[in-house]
Structure 1
């Protein structure tokens, strides 16, 4: 694993596009941390309508000096914007905020609007993809039953499901279901929102001479996830990306696996809508 992964490593989505294996989360972040992330090598930025900073992401893209095709931008449709007409309008609004011709990945942010609204929102994403406004479509915080209703409606399946994933909250059944259906898992809260005091984390950090965040992010990569760490501190932005010159031994990966607190997101530190009806 350590020999084959690098900062520029990607994984192929079912849409046919490639997504960088490491992303940069920008919840509560402004333009400067995004520019710093681009500076140290990140090429994948994860924002959302709910974050209120799509415009700043767009400004960072414009000021980065990078080619548009070399940057992967994800955003998400907020619950109040669900439904076909409102979602379609909000997609255009996001593109205007970002000042982009297309978004690489657009997600339904959560399943909380109910089945009818979820499906109408999904149809709006499909239509926007067909119109060239979006390259890849996916979901966030979806449980198996939410994805099954897309399948039952005869619609194309998501290429991505972005959920909370870290050693305490592994959603093992949902992860396996997604893998079986060709759905890539993006991991938010991959470093447990900075709560890195667990003795297992500390012991492994000492063993590998790494910081604890790097241990958790390396675990996420080795599980086949696309982790989305966030930070506003330049040194942390850089260190969170230094993951490619070491590999967790199988027994250490299994030690982290054993920290899972159970199905349904029992170990969640976030909002965990995957269990919503």
Structure 2
């Protein structure tokens, strides 16, 4: 298998473009699943306080035998901790759960403008960033209007914006805004919770290149520049999702898959979600 490419963030930190997601993996399965991913070759693990499995992710990273510098770990601030002091305490809790000496990326999980001022929250993350306890900070589920407020009101440009992206929700506007401001796009729900796997267009391309529909969809993300972290607890699927670097899609393939967009979400609309 070829090496996973990295994306250089706006502060020169490098993140593997393919990672392993832990959303909806029960805590009692997380350690084993994360260890299997690390054994497969993944070097980027995505978790969150909200997932309830930070402790098990940390255990897997520590028990993997890998150098800490070789594993990129992301976590996210829970929705109930947007006030400055709460955010700082929540980060301390995250680090205690993970049992790691630093984090690679820490995100505001949702903007939640109806529950508080996410600019205040961001300033707390800036404090954490300046302390050196996380190598980069970013946001998740932010729309361009949320990002504009942040950029106007703060010093540190988010390194990433983690948003729902897949062939049925291509998010061209949000991705373009990110590219314009040097904010990398991370794609959660990259196969639309499996909805795109029966798509005739994707399956036709998969048949031609001799890959699965999931591999073709993940390769579409990679070639568009998205950072992805598919989730699975099945070893065979974990390995399959990693095997993306021995084939390429044509520009025509990319265009056909992108044309499947129908602005269909599998998760909440950030403008309507209040936590």
Preserved contact between residue 77 and residue 107 of structure 1 (Cα < 8 Å): yes
Q: Which residue of 2 aligns with 1:22?
A: 18
Q: 1:115 to 1:179 in 2, by over 3 A?
A: farther
Which whole-Å deviations, capped at 9, do the CAs of 1:60-103 have from their partners, x for residues lacking one? 01110000000000000011011100000000100000001111
TM-score computed with the length of structure 2 as normaliser:
0.94
Hey, what does 1:216 align to over in structure 2? 217
- Where do residues 71-82 of structure 1 align in structure 2 (5 Å cutoff)? 71-82=71-82
Map 1:237-276 → 2, pairs under 5 A: 237-261=238-262, 266-273=263-270
Aligned partners of 2:82 and 2:116 also within 8 Å: no
Contact 1:7 1:22 in 2 (8 A): no
Gaps of 5+ in 1: none
| Of 74-83 and 152-161, the range deviating more from structure 2 | 152-161
Q: Is the 8 A contact 1:111 1:118 kept in 2?
A: yes
Do 1:217 and 1:243's aligned partners in 2 also have CA atoms closer than 8 Å?
yes
Query: How many Å apart are 1:130 and its aligned residue?
Result: 0.8
Give the Cα separation in 2 of the matches to 1:38 and 1:68: 12
Query: How big is each residue's C-alpha offset from its partner over 1:232-257, in whole Å with a ceiling of 9 and x where there is no partner?
Result: 00000000010001000111111001
In the alignment, is the contact (CA less than 8 A) between 2:76 and 2:106 conserved in 1?
yes
Q: CA deviation at 1:8?
A: 3.2
Say if 1:73 and 1:249 are closer, same or farther in 2 by CA, change over 3 A. Answer: same
Tell me how many residue pairs correspond in the alignment.
269
Counterpart in 2 of 1:235?
Answer: 236
Residue correspondence of structure 1 range 1-277 to structure 2 within 5 A: 6-29=2-25, 30-114=30-114, 116-195=116-195, 196-261=197-262, 266-273=263-270
**Pairwise CA distance, 1:155:** 2.6
Change (3 A) 1:21 1:6: farther
Which secondary structure does the structure 2 equivalent of 1:11 belong to? Answer: strand
Secondary structure of the corresponding residue to residue 80 of structure 1: coil
User: Contact conserved, 1:191 with 1:216, CA < 8 A, in 2?
Assistant: yes
Q: Secondary structure at the match of 1:130?
A: helix
Q: Which deviations, in whole Å up to 9, do the C-alpha atoms of 1:14-73 show, x marking residues without a partner?
A: 122100010110012211110000001000000000000000000001110000000000
Partner Cα distance (1:115, 1:254) in 2:
39
How far apart in 1 are the matches of 2:246 and 2:64?
A: 26
4+ residue stretches of structure 1 with deviation over 6 A?
none
